[in-house]
A and B are shown apart, each in its own frame.
Chain A
Amino acid sequence: QKEVEQDPGPLSVPEGAIVSLNCTYSNSAFQYFMWYRQYSRKGPELLMYTYSSGNKEDGRFTAQVDKSSKYISLFIRDSQPSDSATYLCAMSEMTGGYQKVTFGTGTKLQVIP
């Protein structure tokens, strides 16, 4: 079983829809939770960063963490064609004196005009 599970999609939605992206994890030591957006052939771009259970909002993006269920989500409101990309969840833990980050496989999102 992978430490981080993420549905690879692809997920196709119409412009303006609310998008829900999810990851589950098995490692209770994960402390920090991140979402990255990656356009084709580019490096990952940080979208959201949180370390506690609950919701964090930034513009059209809301990150949700439920540590009791080991489940995190990213919601995108009023989705735009420019949101079409691969979304990576990432989680980190302190181990052996360093911050180890584990990524999901990424969900490919397509927003259709």
Chain B
Amino acid sequence: DAGVTQSPTHLIKTRGQHVTLRCSPISGHKSVSWYQQVLGQGPQFIFQYYEKEERGRGNFPDRFSARQFPNYSSELNVNALLLGDSALYLCASSLEGAGNTIYFGEGSWLTVV
């Protein structure tokens, strides 16, 4: 079975631009979460979606937004990119929104120049 898949794997953007990252969860999983991992740090929670609804949001500015589609895939959007947004963006899926193990994809490496 396929694990969590993310695209693109690497991308370079210029300050002020917009980026969209995509994620497909493990088949049967209904919950998707997004994390930001800066070099040398642990992943930081950005959003959790379950059944297409936002269930939780971390301490990130409104430039960050996400959505989940009927097939449970998800997009993370970041507007007005800053140099500090350069990081590994991880998508994780779980069966439901609570009390379940989360499984990560390989991530999307974003570099903002």
Contacts from A to B (Cβ < 8 Å): 4, 6, 8, 31-32, 34, 36, 41-46, 49, 88, 90, 94-106
In addition to A96-B55, A106-B42, 8 A-B residue pairs with Cβ atoms within 8 Å of each other are A41-B88, A45-B104, A88-B42, A97-B98, A100-B45, A101-B33, A102-B45, A103-B42
Instruction: Report whether B56 and A98 are in contact in the complex, using a CB–CB cutoff of 8 Å.
Output: yes
Chain A residues with CB under 8 A of B74: none
Chain B residues with CB under 8 A of A34: 101
Q: How far is the CA of A105 from the CA of B44 in the complex (A)?
A: 10
Known pairs A43-B90, A96-B56; A105 contacts B101 (CB<8 A)? no
- Distance (Å) between the CB of A36 and the closest chain B CB? 8
Q: How far is the CA of A6 from the CA of B102 in the complex (A)?
A: 20
- Distance (Å) between the CB of A112 and the closest chain B CB? 22
Q: How far is the CA of A90 from the CA of B88 in the complex (A)?
A: 17
- Report if B25 contacts A (CB, 8 A): no
Contacts from B to A (Cβ < 8 Å): 4, 33, 40-45, 48, 50, 55-56, 88, 90, 94, 97-107, 109
Q: How far is the CA of A105 from the CA of B90 in the complex (A)?
A: 15
Instruction: Report whether A32 and B56 are in contact in the complex, using a CB–CB cutoff of 8 Å.
Output: no
Q: How far is the CA of A6 from the CA of B41 in the complex (A)?
A: 10
- Distance (Å) between the CB of A39 and the closest chain B CB? 10
Instruction: Report whether A98 and B42 are in contact in the complex, using a CB–CB cutoff of 8 Å.
Output: no
Instruction: Report whether A105 and B42 are in contact in the complex, using a CB–CB cutoff of 8 Å.
Output: yes
Chain A residues with CB under 8 A of B88: 41, 43
Instruction: Report whether B42 and A104 are in contact in the complex, using a CB–CB cutoff of 8 Å.
Output: yes
Q: How far is the CA of A56 from the CA of B42 in the complex (A)?
A: 23
Chain B residues with CB under 8 A of A101: 33, 45, 102
- Distance (Å) between the CB of B52 and the closest chain A CB? 14
